[in-house]
Amino acid sequence: MPPTKDPSPDTVKRAVYLLRVSTPRQMRTATDIDPEGNSIPTQRESCDSKCKDLRAVKVDEYVEPGYSAQSIEKRPIFKDMLRRIDEQGDVDYVIIYARSRVFRNYIEAAVVKQQLDKRGVKLVSANANEDFGEGYMAEAMEAIVDVFNWVQIRQSGDDISKKMLNKARNGGTNGVAKLGYLNTTTTIDGYKVNTVTTDPERSHLITMAFELVATGEYPNVEQIRDILTDAGLRMPRTGRPVSVQTLWLRLRDRYYCGYVTFKGIEYPGRHQPLISEELFDRVQRVLDTHSGSGTRQGTHPHYLKGTIWCRRCTQRFMVQRAQGNGGTYYYFFCGGRQDRVCDQPYIPVDVIEDAVTRHYATITLPDDVQTQMREAINDAAATATTLPEQMRTEYAKRLDKLDAKERYLLDLAAEEGWPKDTLRDKIADIRTERTRITSTLRKADTQLDDGKQILTLALDILADPHTIYLHATDTDRAILNKTIFSKIYIDGGTITGHELNEPFNHLMSTTSSSPVPQPRTGQEDDDDAAPPQGHDATNTSQPPEPTLSGQGSSKTHVVGSGGVEPVTLCAVLVNALVRTVMWPRRSATVIPSHGVG
């Protein structure tokens, strides 16, 4: 039990102070500079005066620097004070500067009051306007003050949120500048405006990070981080190297191609982009390929992770390391086993590797089909267009109007008396629209060529995919797997089916169909349901061989600068294939793919 206080009236009363500021900077603000109570010296002086009025002795002081005060659970200093009161049992008063400084939530204020009352401790405010005396009416007034403080905080929060939304809508950056940028203040028409500018020491290194990933030669972000660290990239405040997680988040952030996001909504930003949208999209595809379609290449990286799936429960396979008398072994196992919903046995890694290698021989296109498809692609690319002539004409008219309007506004800007800011904004809007239209026209001219190139490359792969895969490096195999297959289904070391990505799903639909398996019900074939006896399946200290390593793939251009999207965008090419090659064959009997194991 905590010690009890002496209840005699002659006992000297003891007090502790609870001081709090919103930011660490306020702790160093002197009283004469800050008479409003935003600094620790100001609060301490007021609490000293109140302690003297109470004829009490200060025995301790607790200072909370920079906490939000939204939750007691997030305020360790406050919790330390309560613990001290419980252990020492010698405190009569907790003196605060003002209730609004300690409580931002009326419910927590009531809970804290109840906790202190049980300990015989009275909460006292140094603010004369909050000295309501004794009795239940005084307690009622304190509760009303807490409610009004809470309402004021909510209103202030809503106001701040609206201002942040308005700033984002106008392309401004809220909060601390992201890595590669700096928070700066500039003067516009005599007013100081907070903005962001590119960081001359780091911005080019962020651009380098995106460019390195886009090459496809680095299978994990850690390698990129090490290169950037050697090049001098450090965090602005600490000077430490950038963590892998921080770099990963930056590589996924569209802020670097010119957008700001507020509450999940994206707005065009006013800051200078460090990369193009095309480069950003290419990086996302490379990251998705190397990460295994959502899997983490961490403890046990392998070029099949994220590609092979369980036929029985349709969950992803993972790698397990096992230690036995004969050495170290590696197995693939179904993720459904962890949830106890699947009886798929543990399968040695080399068994599935060999099965996948042999399975590549089943996705070859016959020479006559290849010839027909290439002719269809050439015919479609020669005659089709992704942008109708009527739309091209409308775009040309709009460009003429924009040119005339820009010349008119430039003439006005040269004269006195016209609002320069308004004219500048209108001219900028015209140039933005012109850039968008010319970009659309340029992409329309190259879109079919990109689609034709990707379909042709896909046909080149399908001419002899087994030989290509057989002689590929582990990194190349990972890229081939992710490029061709969405999923490969495994059952007991046997491949039972697959799902193909575009454009391979269209190309291969002329020869065979591999139905998507449905999850099995019940427990079937429990053979080899666990690693071999004597293996320690919990030991996960070393990755299996082979891993994703090497100098990268020379075939990353298979997905092109636009990935496989040009095939989707240039649907006319696929439609041509369907009309000339695929559709006549669909009337024939569909031959399902057989297991290879």
The 3 state secondary structure assigned to 522-534 is CCCCCCCCCCCCC
* 129 token code pair: 């306007």
The radius of gyration of the chain's CA atoms, rounded to the nearest angstrom, is 34
Contact 309, 347 (CB under 8 A): no
More confident residue, 393 or 489: 489
Per-residue pLDDT at 539 exceeds 70: no
Residue 187 sits in the same domain as residue 152: no
Burial annotation 385-412 (CB, 10 A radius, 16+ → b, else e): ebeeeeeeeebeeeeeebeeebeebeee
pLDDT value, residue 537: 39
Q: For the chain, what is the domain count?
A: 2
More confident residue, 583 or 19: 19
pLDDT value, residue 207: 94
Residues β-bridged to residue 329: 322
In a domain, 455, yes or no: no
**Maximum Cα–Cα distance across the chain:** 108
Residue 144 sits in the same domain as residue 275: no
Helix (H) or strand (E) holding 435: helix 420-463
Amino acid at 103: F
CA 421 to chain CA centroid, nearest Å: 37
CA gap 17, 290 in Å, rounded:
55
Per-residue pLDDT at 577 exceeds 50: no
* Across 354-377, average pLDDT: 86
Residue 123 sits in the same domain as residue 210: no
CA gap 280, 206 in Å, rounded:
12
- Least Cα distance to 310 among 514, 519, 528 occurs for 519
In a domain, 547, yes or no: no
Length of the chain: 597
In a domain, 526, yes or no: no
Last residue of a domain, one of 226, 259, 291: 291
Residue 151 sits in the same domain as residue 38: yes
In a domain, 100, yes or no: yes
pLDDT value, residue 248: 92
Contact 316, 528 (CB under 8 A): no
Residue 60 sits in the same domain as residue 147: yes
Residue 151 sits in the same domain as residue 262: no
Residue 149 sits in the same domain as residue 106: yes
> Residues 400-452: pLDDT tens digits?
999 898 888 877 765 666 776 787 788 788 888 888 888 777 777 666 667 77
> Residues 302-356: pLDDT tens digits?
889 889 999 999 999 998 888 777 778 889 999 898 888 899 999 999 999 999 9
CA gap 25, 506 in Å, rounded:
63
Last residue of a domain, one of 269, 291, 313: 291
In a domain, 27, yes or no: yes
pLDDT above 70 as % of the chain: 73
CA gap 507, 149 in Å, rounded:
67
> Residues 132-188: pLDDT tens digits?
778 888 888 888 888 888 888 788 878 887 888 888 888 888 888 999 999 998 877
Q: What is the DSSP letter of 472?
A: -
Per-residue pLDDT at 508 exceeds 90: no
Per-residue pLDDT at 454 exceeds 70: yes
Sequence-distant (≥ 6) Cβ neighbours of residue 215 within 8 angstroms: 552, 556
With tokens 């086993």, the residue in question is: 337
Residue 193 sits in the same domain as residue 238: yes
Residue 204 sits in the same domain as residue 81: no
pLDDT above 90 as % of the chain: 21
In a domain, 232, yes or no: yes
In a domain, 246, yes or no: yes
- Least Cα distance to 277 among 300, 294, 256 occurs for 256
Last residue of a domain, one of 256, 291, 326: 291
CA gap 483, 17 in Å, rounded:
65
Residue 222 sits in the same domain as residue 143: no
* Across 252-280, average pLDDT: 88
* Across 197-220, average pLDDT: 89
User: Is the torsion defined by CA of 285, 286, 289, 290 positive or negative?
Assistant: negative
In a domain, 275, yes or no: yes
Per-residue pLDDT at 37 exceeds 90: no
Contact 301, 543 (CB under 8 A): yes
At 117, which CATH number? 3.40.50.1390
* 481 token code pair: 């797997």
CA gap 298, 295 in Å, rounded:
9
Domain that holds residue 260: 181-291
Residue 148 sits in the same domain as residue 187: no
Burial annotation 269-299 (CB, 10 A radius, 16+ → b, else e): bebebbbeeebbbbbbbbbebbbbeebebee
Contact 148, 163 (CB under 8 A): no
Mean pLDDT of the chain: 76
CA gap 333, 351 in Å, rounded:
12
At 253, which CATH number? 3.90.1750.20
pLDDT value, residue 273: 94
Residue 142 sits in the same domain as residue 186: no
> Residues 81-120: pLDDT tens digits?
888 888 888 899 999 888 877 777 788 788 778 878 888 8
- How many C-beta atoms surround the C-beta of residue 313 within 10 A? 20
Contact 24, 43 (CB under 8 A): no
